[in-house]
Amino acid sequence: MKQSKNQSPLNRGLFKFHTMRDKIIEYYSDTEPVLFADGLDEAIIGFDPNRWQVVYSRTKVIKVLQEREEMNEEEALDWAEYNIFNAYVGDSTPVWAEDFNWD
């Protein structure tokens, strides 16, 4: 049997990640707690290990709010700007990145 070059369990498919949150927890949460925004896992697009912050797509946050809360786009944007994007909860406050994925 031929072995692959990289025998890492991750590369052999032994670990299955269902969400970006799962990946962040697997790779980073064993040293310090990671701060996630409640109910917005679908909007996670990455993690900044230097600043220890979860990175969310602003566009995806707005889409989540539109679907979950049955808001129109303007309502979701206004609500997110006031209640989410401008909130500060310490040094690990998530990053709300503009990804320019507008429809």
Reported confidence tier of residue 15, pLDDT bands at 50, 70, 90: low
- For residue 47, the tally of other CB atoms under 10 A from its CB is 21
For the whole model, what pTM was predicted?
0.81
For residue 31, what are the contacts with CB-CB under 8 A and spacing of at least 6?
none
| Mean pLDDT along residues 51-55 | 97
| 43 has pLDDT over 60 | yes
Write down the pLDDT at residue 101: 83
CA angle 101, 11, 14 (to 5 degrees): 100
For residue range 64-100, list pLDDT tens digits in order.
Answer: 999 999 999 999 999 999 999 999 999 999 999 999 9
- Please answer whether residues 85 and 44 qualify as being in contact, where contact means their C-beta atoms are separated by less than 8 angstroms: no
| 7 has pLDDT over 60 | no
| 22 has pLDDT over 70 | yes
